Amino acid sequence: MSETTRTPWWKGATVYQIYPRSFADSNGDGIGDLNGVRRHLDHLQQLGVDALWLSPIFRSPMADAGYDISDYCDIDPLFGSLTDIDRLITEAHARDIRVLLDFVPNHTSDEHPWFVESRSSRDNPKRDWYIWRDQPNNWRAALGAGSAWTWDEHTQQYYLHLFLAKQPDLNWRNPEVVEAMHDVLRFWLDRGVDGFRIDVIHCTGKDPSFADDPRCQAGQPLSDFNDQPYSHEVLRGLRKLVDSYPGDRMLVGEVNIRSTERVLQYYGAGDELHLAFNFNPLDAPWDPVLFRTCIREVEHWLQPAGAWPTWVLSNHDNVRQRSRYQGSERAARAAAVLLLTLRGTPFIYQGEELGLEDAVITAETRTDPGGRDGCRAPIPWHAEPPHGWDGAKPWLPFPPDADQLAAERQTGAANSMFALYQRLLAARKASPALHHGDYEELPSHPEVLAYRRQHGDDRRLVCINFADAAQAFPQSGEWAVEIASDGCDEGEPYSGTLNPGQAVVLRPMEN
């Protein structure tokens, strides 16, 4: 049996994150939807990704952009219908693109029928589906929501919410909750979904003693560091269920704790998450010391444990990488080379392949309580306004240079950002070293990050120059430039010098 048939698909895959309300609008209401996604599947196929992950599309009052769910087994009319998602899954699969959904197990909307029942009386059968207390402790909620406890006048108790008051936390210690949420996963797995990105999975287990925490006293939200043994029990149950389905279904988790050592625990003994997001690069500026340290830490903890890493530089909650890199297209191009050549599964956030920056958000255009609108701006498909968003004005303003960076301008253009991503993804698919090989850091100048990827006889060298000046980086042996972030000298012998800010993928010269 060959290595690729034995290895699960998600190890060699590249996943593309779609934030549906900003991806593409099919009905002219100014908000992206599932049919908009379906109509642009060719874009993803052309790019060369293997899977797409959809941020929440379930029925929701949208207090937190769909992360407050009122029905886990229905599509919000804003995005379409169950028929639309079925069609999207079918058409994605026809293009060999797998589909992951966003699963939000920690909390529901306060408008979910379960919570409506739970708060109706203290002796309601669903009372214990949520977490009620006579006295609050000092736990803090995220998104600037203050105390994690809200008083319910009707039943004269407080309920817990680690996020907005409109997002009450489920009680995962109640077996009925576990079974109901397992049924949600079955509902979607039966419809052909290939896996789930699990939202704040580290929050599902709570300290049973409800002790005050000094970090909350200092104003930090509990969701930043909550790390309880019971979360692992929750995860093992989810994993067992997903593993009972054929076809390598997978779970990738948001464990939003900034410690690689702690995040590793959520892989379990191969019986919890298949993949966990590695968030440290999401905060980092374009700096060789930070990236070198981060990669070393991931290799140090995950490699000996047999846990497969993930790499992500942008998502729907964080400032886009190019904006973090002071708007530098050169740095964003080099970062693409880094992202797609490290050992692990890379996640591309929609629009990174176009080199987008965050939109400028004003007090008038702001919609998100957490201030994350900039990275959620609509994707410009056409160069001419309204950039493929015909009808009502889009729900957020477009990112800067939407005309220049529009998808139609970049597709087919020789050295566009889109073309660079295409070349990288094609090279990654064709090279066992790049998608499954070992990683070895090479000695280099402080401003250069260099590493070898090797699988059997297949070898690649990756060299990234963070400096504004050219750097000599000679290598023994004969190497050719397979890909260069600036497009220079591709296919030519490697000269031993890196251009300012350039990243290259080198392959051995054929005799």
Backbone φ and ψ for 448, nearest 5 degrees, come out as -115, 135
Three-state DSSP class for 467?
A: coil
With a cut of 80, say whether residue 433 has pLDDT above it: yes
Mention every residue, 6+ apart, whose C-beta is less than 8 A from residue 445.
467, 471, 473
pLDDT in the model for residue 160: 98
pLDDT in the model for residue 511: 58
- Complete domains list, the chain, with CATH: 10-109+172-428 (3.20.20.80), 113-160 (3.90.400.10), 438-508 (2.60.40.1180)
Q: Which two tokens stand for residue 58?
A: 């379930």
Task: Calculate what percentage of the chain has a pLDDT beyond 90.
Answer: 97
Q: Which two tokens stand for residue 379?
A: 């994707």
Mean pLDDT rounded to a whole number for the chain:
97
- What's the count of helices (H) and strands (E) in the chain, helices before strands? 19, 20
Distances from the Cα of 151 to the Cα of 168, 261, 399, angstroms:
12, 37, 40
Show the CA angle centred on residue 392, arms to residues 388 and 393, nearest 5°: 75
Of 50, 199, 357, 486, the active-site residue reads 199
| Residue range 136-165, pLDDT digits in tens | 999 999 999 999 999 999 999 999 999 999
Contact 36, 26 (CB under 8 A): yes
Q: Which two tokens stand for residue 386?
A: 């309204």
With a cut of 90, say whether residue 83 has pLDDT above it: yes
360 CA to centre of own chain: 22
| Residue range 329-340, pLDDT digits in tens | 999 999 999 999
Contact 499, 470 (CB under 8 A): yes
CA-based R_g, the chain, Å:
23
153 is catalytic: no
Region 365-379: mean pLDDT is 95
Three-state DSSP class for 392?
A: coil
Of 76, 254, 353, 486, the active-site residue reads 254
With a cut of 70, say whether residue 5 has pLDDT above it: no
Distances from the Cα of 8 to the Cα of 101, 155, 219, 382, 406, angstroms:
18, 50, 42, 37, 34
Contact 252, 309 (CB under 8 A): no
Q: Which two tokens stand for residue 148?
A: 């994690």
pLDDT in the model for residue 3: 42
Region 434-455: mean pLDDT is 97
| Residue range 35-64, pLDDT digits in tens | 999 999 999 999 999 999 999 999 999 999
384 is catalytic: no
Q: Please, which pLDDT band fits residue 1 given cuts at 50, 70 and 90?
A: very low
pLDDT in the model for residue 4: 42
Task: Calculate what percentage of the chain has a pLDDT beyond 70.
Answer: 99
Q: How far apart are CA 246 and CA 208, in angstroms?
A: 36
pTM over 0.95: yes
pLDDT in the model for residue 510: 81
pLDDT in the model for residue 283: 86
Q: How far apart are CA 75 and CA 293, in angstroms?
A: 42
Region 343-354: mean pLDDT is 98
Q: How far apart are CA 164 and CA 155, in angstroms?
A: 20
Q: Please, which pLDDT band fits residue 2 given cuts at 50, 70 and 90?
A: very low
